[in-house]
Amino acid sequence: MCAMLLNILKAKNQQGQKVEFEQSLALDNDLISAKGGEFTCDATVKGYYLYEDEQLHLVANVSVGLLCVCDKCGEKFEKTLVFPVEETFVEQYDLHDNESYSIINGTSIKIDEVVTDNLLLSLPTKLLCKEDCKGLCQVCGKNKNYYTCHCEQIQQELERLDNPFDKLKNRR
Ligand SMILES: [Zn+2]
Ligand SMILES: [Zn+2]
């Protein structure tokens, strides 16, 4: 992935004023391959930046299409991931400070890392095809979003019959 630079000359020339921008950014599939996902399009980064007191404030929303695998039922589904990005970039005076990515390089800033960091933070720990995905039956393995089976009900019933405490309770 090549670094994406955002030209901020306009913001530097109009200090204290918001400059709106929209950029597309190609994201590396490696970012989400561990979760079994892939990007279906470039990310769109849209927002504004503002230069003031030798600092650049970036406020944006990123949206990107994802094709991923549901953590519960294993079905593939598409989803649009939207997350905010907010970062302050500072002028780089100390040339030895290469640690920080939030520096201003003359008239541009690099936004890849800010975007990918925020993407990873905003990824839900579980990717679900829908909020109330019923998942797979633990017994017969059928996708409970499409099939109704009574396996779990039967198992619960068997467990109840097996439980001596319940038997006593029933005798009363
Ligand atoms: Zn699902
Ligand atoms: Zn079942």
- Asked if residue 164 and residue 115 are part of one domain, the reply reads no
What separation in Å is there between the alpha carbon of 132 and the centre of ligand 1? Answer: 8
Calculate how far, in angstroms, residue 55's C-alpha sits from the geometric centre of ligand 2. Answer: 59
Distance 153 CA to ligand 2 centre (A): 9
- Which tens digit of pLDDT belongs to each residue from 97-122? 556 678 888 889 999 999 999 999 99
| Domains held by the chain: number | 2
Tell me, what's the pLDDT at 59? 97
Q: What is the pTM of this model?
A: 0.78
Residue 146 clears pLDDT 70, i.e. is over it: yes
Q: What DSSP line would sit under 27-71, residue for residue?
A: --THHHHTTT-EESS-EEEEEEEEEETTEEEEEEEEEEEEEEE-T
Distance (Å) from CA 126 to ligand 2 centroid: 23
User: Which domain does 28 fall in, by range?
Assistant: 5-122
Provide the pLDDT for residue 156: 87
| Confidence at 1, pLDDT banded by 50, 70, 90 | very low
Please give the pLDDT value at position 167: 56
Residue 127 forms part of a structural domain: no
